[in-house]
C-alpha cells in the first residue's frame, strides 16, 4: 500500500508549467544553471553520460545540450547504472516523495557517478507566506494551503544519506528580488511555473480583499527603503557520489599512528578518572 502523502497535484503542476512557457521568468533558473556549471567545473573529471531531471526542459536542455532531459515524474525514466552524472533541476521541491526521487537517481548512477540537485528551500518566499497567512486569518478567519511546503537545509541534506550517496554535501544560496507590489510578485511566480499546485488548495479563486489585505500587511512589515517588496528565494544545492571502492574512506577508530597532540606540537594531558 502506498503511504506517501500526495502534497502536489501533478496535473495542476503540469498546467502551470505549460502556461509559463510563453512568458517564462528565468532569472532564478539562470542563477541555478550558472552555479551548477561552476560546481561541475571544479570536479576534475569529464562526464559523458549525463541526465537532467526537470520540469523545465527548454532552459536546462539549452544549458546542457549534451545531456539527456527527462521529466520529473513520480517514476523516473532512468536505467540502472546508466549515467555518470544526474542533475535534478529545480523540481525536487514539488516531489511528493523527494527521497524516492534521489534514490532513483542514485540507482541510475555508475559507481563513482555524481548526483547534483538544486531546488527551492524553506526560506523561500517567507515574507509572502507570513503576509498571506495573516491576511487570510484577518479576512476569512482561517488558513488554507497556498504556497508549497519546502524543506529546510538540514532535512534536505539528510535525504542524501537516506538515498545511500557517499560524500554528501548540502549548501544554499539566498537571493532577494524586489517587486512593485504583491500582484507583480504573483505574476512572476506564474511566469516561473511556480503557482499553487497543492493537492489541498482551494479550487475557487481567492477574493480581491485577500490580496488587498496581503499587500497592506506585506508593505507594513517588509517594505524596503526604496518602497518595494522584498521576496527571498533560497536555492538549496545537494551533491553526493554513488559509492565506489576508489573513494576515500574514514580510518577505523584507533588506527592512527600519530596523535593529534604530536601533529600540533602540543602537550597531551590525560583526563583524570
Closest-CA residue to 27 (of 152, 189, 197, 222) = 189
Q: Of 70, 65, 53, 57, nearest to 115 (Cα)?
A: 53
The DSSP 8-state label assigned to residue 198 in this structure reads B
Residue 197 has what pLDDT? 82
Convert the pLDDT of each residue in 31-77 to its tens digit.
Answer: 999 999 999 999 989 999 999 999 999 999 999 999 999 999 999 99
Confidence of residue 229 (pLDDT cuts 50, 70, 90): very high
| Grid coordinates belonging to 10 | 501533478
Three cell numbers written together for 30: 539562470
Write 69-74 long-range contacts (CB < 8 A, 24+).
72/101, 74/10, 74/100
Integer Rg of the chain from CA: 22
- pLDDT-derived band at 1 (thresholds 50, 70, 90) equals very low
* Reported pTM: 0.85
CB 176 within 8 A of CB 189: no
Mean pLDDT in the chain? 88
- pLDDT > 90 fraction of the chain, expressed in percent and rounded: 67
Residue 143 banded pLDDT, cuts 50, 70, 90 = low
pLDDT, mean of residues 136-165: 81
Model pLDDT, residue 219: 97
Whole-angstrom Cα distance, residue 206 to residue 215?
14
User: Which domains, ranges and CATH numbers included, belong to the chain?
Assistant: 10-245 (3.40.50.150)
Amino acid at each position: 500500500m502506498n503511504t506517501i502523502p500526495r502534497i502536489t497535484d501533478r496535473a495542476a503542476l503540469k498546467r502551470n508549467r505549460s502556461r509559463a512557457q510563453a512568458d517564462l521568468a528565468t532569472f532564478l533558473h539562470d542563477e541555478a544553471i550558472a552555479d551548477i556549471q561552476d560546481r561541475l567545473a571544479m570536479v576534475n573529471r569529464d562526464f559523458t553520460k549525463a541526465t537532467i531531471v526537470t520540469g523545465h526542459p527548454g532552459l536546462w536542455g539549452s544549458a546542457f545540450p549534451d545531456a539527456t532531459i527527462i521529466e520529473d515524474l513520480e517514476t523516473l525514466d532512468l536505467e540502472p547504472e546508466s549515467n555518470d552524472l544526474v542533475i535534478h533541476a529545480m523540481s525536487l521541491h514539488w516531489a511528493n516523495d523527494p527521497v524516492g526521487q534521489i534514490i532513483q537517481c542514485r540507482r541510475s548512477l555508475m559507481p563513482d557517478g555524481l548526483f547534483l540537485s538544486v531546488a527551492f528551500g524553506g526560506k523561500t518566499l517567507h515574507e509572502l507566506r507570513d503576509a498571506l497567512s495573516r491576511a487570510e486569518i484577518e479576512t476569512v478567519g482561517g488558513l488554507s494551503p497556498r504556497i508549497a511546503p519546502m524543506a529546510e537545509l538540514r532535512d534536505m541534506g539528510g535525504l542524501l544519506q537516506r538515498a545511500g550517496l557517499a560524500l554528501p554535501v548540502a549548501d544554499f544560496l539566498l537571493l532577494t528580488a524586489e517587486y512593485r507590489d504583491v500582484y507583480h510578485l504573483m505574476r512572476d511566480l506564474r511566469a516561473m511555473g511556480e503557482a499553487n499546485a497543492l493537492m489541498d488548495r482551494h479550487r475557487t479563486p481567492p477574493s480581491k480583499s485577500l490580496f488587498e489585505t496581503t499587500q497592506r500587511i506585506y508593505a507594513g512589515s517588509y517594505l524596503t527603503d526604496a518602497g518595494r517588496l522584498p521576496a527571498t528565494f533560497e536555492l538549496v544545492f545537494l551533491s553526493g557520489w554513488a559509492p565506489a571502492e576508489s573513494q576515500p574512506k574514514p580510518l577505523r577508530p584507533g588506527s592512527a599512528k600519530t596523535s593529534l597532540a604530536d601533529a600540533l606540537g602540543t602537550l597531551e594531558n590525560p583526563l583524570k578518572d
